Structure 1
């Protein structure tokens, strides 16, 4: 490799928008669906409830009962995320606020991580997402026990797990628009300029995120056919 260029050695990375990465994400998803035989299995165990996404000019979301949907034909994503503390935890479905059929959930009442995950699901042309705090009635012991027993089917049956890897609570978001790692420029012997981008070791970086530091996440990621982990600097 040649000598460092005679300009500022370190350059902060440019902002990378989610829109610019969406095509690659769609391509990887399509390739997995079409080419990976072990990922083509259809799970007929549906979660009891899903969040249904409708997009006109704005997003509209509501809880729906999966009994009203065709099992095995519905593609849905599942959100893997850190809840945070009692004070900054996510909104929950409780016996007090649960309605069937459910009313629309006000968009502004949803924390940033939920909104980002819904945007990703919609961008990938899917209409349903499973979010634990919304799809399980949190203070109903029977409902919680029943849904907890289905957890393997919920994550195994999802078309994609959206993992909020660097979010310590539901308000941080998925970092849809991130900053690329810094780079350094080198001048080659032929006077051309080369750029090397520095990025932390992927495995070490990913294993040390807030989400992957939690033991219960292991089963979620192990059971999934496909997953995308949203970090501060890139997708994994």
Structure 2
């Protein structure tokens, strides 16, 4: 796939846009998207209470934070009309993004492995230096922790109760339905591969 060069003087980035996100697709259908050049200059408004409130003339973008996953486990997507292999974990993340309401309203996304020309060493090095700024300029950062596991909902419920009641000192103070499963679920949640990435410090 050919990438259009980025203009450094305009703080250009590339953003991903899903094709026809309103059209239902099956698990066997390939994700279709395009990569477009966009400038992050000309910020019109820092406030963005609604998804429809875009900050740039071309629209707006959110940044994806994820793990690549097993490099041997790949699936294909269609990018700018060309079939491209990506990790199964990234493909799952893209499917989840495609289903978001903001995607249906025209949201673009910045995904490092797709929006940076990985075969252009100079561009790759330049964009890596700018990654912190790109994530900070994004309307939001979408975190993909991987496919949902059976204990994830319990873990989130436990975190919610701990945040609302920071003085909880033992399991008996948790709601009855969380006393047995809450802490093990929270431990399993903390063991997800995503949390082992040092890069998330600058992404979140």
Decide: shared fold, TM above 0.5. yes
**Residue of structure 2 equivalent to 1:42:** none
Structure 1 stretches lacking a partner, 5+ long = 1-44, 168-172, 184-194, 222-236
Which one has the bigger helix percentage?
2
1:114 paired residue among 81, 94, 97: 94
Aligned CA RMSD, in angstroms, stands at: 4.1
Give the TM-score normalised by the residue count of structure 2: 0.56
Q: CA–CA distance in 2 between the matches of 1:159 and 1:202?
A: 31
Range moving further from structure 2, 156-165 or 107-116: 107-116
Give the TM-score normalised by the residue count of structure 1: 0.50
Q: What secondary structure sits across from 1:137 in the alignment? A: coil
Structure 2 stretches lacking a partner, 5+ long = 1-9, 25-30, 44-55, 158-174
Alpha-carbon contact 2:76-2:85 (below 8 Å) kept: no
- Aligned positions of 1:6-21 closer than 5 A: none
Alpha-carbon contact 2:74-2:85 (below 8 Å) kept: no
Q: What secondary structure sits across from 1:78 in the alignment? A: strand
1:86 paired residue among 62, 68, 71: 71
Alpha-carbon contact 2:35-2:80 (below 8 Å) kept: yes
Alpha-carbon contact 1:90-1:111 (below 8 Å) kept: yes
Which protein shows a greater Rg? 1
Aligned residues: 150
**Residue of structure 1 equivalent to 2:154:** 181
Alpha-carbon contact 1:47-1:147 (below 8 Å) kept: no
Give the Å deviation of 1:117.
2.4
Q: What secondary structure sits across from 2:127 in the alignment? A: helix
The structure showing larger relative contact order (alpha-carbon pairs under 8 Å, at least 6 residues apart) is 1
